[in-house]
Amino acid sequence: MLSYDVIEWGKPLEKAEGEIPKPKGTEVLLRLKYCGVCHSDVHIREGYFELGGGKRLLMTERGMSLPATLGHEPYGTVIAAGPDAADAPIGEDRLVYPWTGCGACARCREGLDNFCMAPAMIGIQRRGGYADHLIVPHPRYLIDAAGIDPTWAAILACSGLSTYAAVSKLNPIPPEEWVAVIGGGGLGLSAIGMLKALGHQHIVVVDIDDAKLKAAKTAGAAATVKGGDADSGKEMQRIAAGPLCAAVDLVGTNETASLALGTLRKGGRLVLVGLYGGEIPLSVVATIQRALTIQGSHLGTVAELKAVLALAREGKIQPIPILKRPLSEVSRTLDELKQGAIVGRVVVEM
Ligand SMILES: [Zn+2]
Ligand SMILES: [Zn+2]
């Protein structure tokens, strides 16, 4: 088996060869075809995420140890199953739900693997998809993506699922109310698509980059606002003819979260998704008197991923530009993502 592994934090991935693993118990083995290369792997390869205020979340504190195989957007053919993996679809292609938990706790049994307190995620704590083979802990994490381009399905397991789960937390949104999408990058464009797929039109996108605002308009934003100005919040409220009912922050800096929170009406809701790493001062009294909800949204469930694939299959969300590269270029691709030199998404092909 071939894989590209983190041997030392912050260093390029290294090619490794080993035995093809044998599935045990409920495990299934896939021969991989594709794996999306995600920007979060840039941080994971470094070994930490910034938490704001100079604090860091170390990947070792999240249960990662080296060597590690990253890659949490895998897609491939099921080729073998353990003795307890009933109904494994041997010979068929499947998308893998990567956000697996311990499999045994109450959350995992309810299907809320992403809320497991002992996460064992594929491409984080478990070996991931920058490899030609992959062990998946249970057939319930295999998702049928028939009718959808497999490279697109692969990336839907991360950014598509995260934005769907985030905007779903705003439901039901009164149709006349305005929702702010903070950040017009890949996640922002995906969030616009998900809001529209759920039937919402009044979307105002905020970004500091004019090119991203233009892309947001093309993706269906009803209005855009240049961020980073003292008047950005006022402009958002002018467009909405008053304070907004909800905002989704896909950036996650001090500035973006403060801006979003400051524009909300009483009973408004802020969903935080972006992991840039910020902190906001929070007035307890104002939060109470404005009856605000601030909610984090991290990844999503198996059921939510199936809902995303249904939207894709029905043509309610549209694919984004995807560039295919050989697996051997995965480390270089992470370098380019770090430099901001990739437009759209890269999927490596095995
Ligand atoms: Zn990802
Ligand atoms: Zn669990």
pLDDT digits (tens), the chain, 350 positions: 999 999 999 999 999 999 999 999 999 999 999 999 998 899 999 999 877 777 888 999 989 999 999 999 999 999 999 999 988 999 999 999 999 999 999 999 999 999 999 999 999 999 999 999 999 999 999 999 999 999 999 999 999 999 999 999 998 899 899 999 999 988 899 999 999 999 999 999 999 999 999 999 999 999 999 999 999 999 999 999 999 999 999 999 999 999 999 999 999 999 999 988 888 999 999 999 999 999 999 999 999 999 999 999 999 998 888 999 999 999 999 999 989 888 778 999 99
How far is ligand 2, taken at its centre, from the CA of residue 87, in Å? 22
pTM (two decimals): 0.93
Q: Is the link from the previous residue into 67 a cis peptide, with omega within 30 of 0?
A: yes
Ligand nearest to the CA of 40: 1
Report the C-alpha gap between 208 and 211 in whole angstroms: 9
Token look-up 């403060």 returns: 258
How far is ligand 1, taken at its centre, from the CA of residue 40, in Å? 6
Token look-up 């979260």 returns: 257
How far is ligand 1, taken at its centre, from the CA of residue 123, in Å? 10
How far is ligand 1, taken at its centre, from the CA of residue 260, in Å? 24
How far is ligand 2, taken at its centre, from the CA of residue 91, in Å? 29
Q: Ligand 2 (ion): which residues have CB within 5 A?
A: 101-102, 105, 108, 116
Ligand nearest to the CA of 107: 2
How far is ligand 1, taken at its centre, from the CA of residue 216, in Å? 21
Starting at the edge strand found earlier in the chain, the sheet holding 68-69 runs: 14-17, 2-6, 68-69
Long-range CB contacts for residues 59-66, cutoff 8 Å, separation at least 24: 59/9, 59/124, 62/119, 62/124, 62/125, 63/118, 63/119, 63/120, 63/124, 63/125, 64/124, 64/125, 66/5, 66/6, 66/7, 66/8, 66/9
How far is ligand 1, taken at its centre, from the CA of residue 73, in Å? 7
Ligand nearest to the CA of 117: 2
